[in-house]
Structure 1
């Protein structure tokens, strides 16, 4: 007796279910920013939508994604019918996965040359705006509002790394 056909059906059913879940998440995330309910979003919101789906592309990767889905004559808007297939593929391939907590923690430890267990707001601002892919002022303010310990006025990066880590679903 062979159970191969049944196994194949179970695998197909779970793949179909996964695909349906992914498409539902994409639709829900897109709809939040579709303010006019016309299946379009402002191109400036696409990065936020993608990141809300637990994808963490670099700015360069985000620009490549936008180039793939933008109209030939850019309108400033992205249509759902172009966004959904691209984003489905990205999520199915598990591209741009967020870093796990231990990697985030190691990155902060590299910046903490004195092994204090924290970074000052000034240190973090310097690193995040002057090195690598610099944060914008808006991104920096958003990060600081979440990262700074209000009592100590420092970034206790072990706690912050835990908060930044995205659990695999």
Structure 2
């Protein structure tokens, strides 16, 4: 039986590890080494930490991290407690591979095992939270099978899946 002190030590160790991971990700974008990052880069930092919030959730997170008078920058001391809480609560985790694959299967009405670039473009720009042109191009560059010119979604779902080792 683990003693309460061991559990507390384990939780403190996890907290320290998560805070170090968040700080390291933040530091990559702190180009001036002044404990601030451009607000536009915070989304990349959040996603680099394995979190996949929706656009609306991202907007709320940024609003929570920003100063009362927005400066265009996010300070580390505003970022760290919010990001630590998100990581400790395991919020915004990406979907597992089998759920990603099922989502693609729903889009593949003809059950052909792949989607065309045109089909995926239509779904990603006209449904739900539409992708920007940049997001779409980035997705297609990774998703399209170079030999077949289509999205073999079983392979792509596997590529998109994130190992959950945290």
- Per the TM superposition, whether the score is higher than 0.5 is yes
Gaps of at least 5 residues in structure 1 are none
| Equivalent in 92, 108, 113 of residue 109 of structure 2 | 113
What TM-score does the superposition give when structure 1 sets the normalisation length? 0.96
Following TM superposition, where does structure 1 have runs of at least 4 consecutive aligned residues deviating by more than 6 angstroms? none
72-81 or 6-15, which moves further after superposition? 6-15
Confirm whether residue 129 of structure 1 aligns to residue 110 of structure 2.
no
| 1:35 aligned residue | 31
| 1:98 aligned residue | 94
Confirm whether residue 140 of structure 1 aligns to residue 140 of structure 2.
no
Q: How far is the alpha carbon of 1:116 from its aligned partner?
A: 0.6
Asked which structure has the greater CA Rg, the reply is 1
Inter-partner Cα distance in structure 2 for 1:75 and 1:8: 44
Inter-partner Cα distance in structure 2 for 1:135 and 1:71: 28
Task: Tell me how many residue pairs correspond in the alignment.
Answer: 165
Q: How far is the alpha carbon of 1:40 from its aligned partner?
A: 0.5
| 2:12 aligned residue | 16
Q: How far is the alpha carbon of 1:120 from its aligned partner?
A: 0.6
| 2:161 aligned residue | 165
Confirm whether residue 53 of structure 1 aligns to residue 49 of structure 2.
yes
Give the secondary-structure state (helix, strand or coil) at the position aligned to 1:78.
strand
Give the secondary-structure state (helix, strand or coil) at the position aligned to 1:117.
coil
Q: How far is the alpha carbon of 1:35 from its aligned partner?
A: 0.8
Gaps of at least 5 residues in structure 2 are none
| 2:78 aligned residue | 82
Q: How far is the alpha carbon of 1:154 from its aligned partner?
A: 0.5
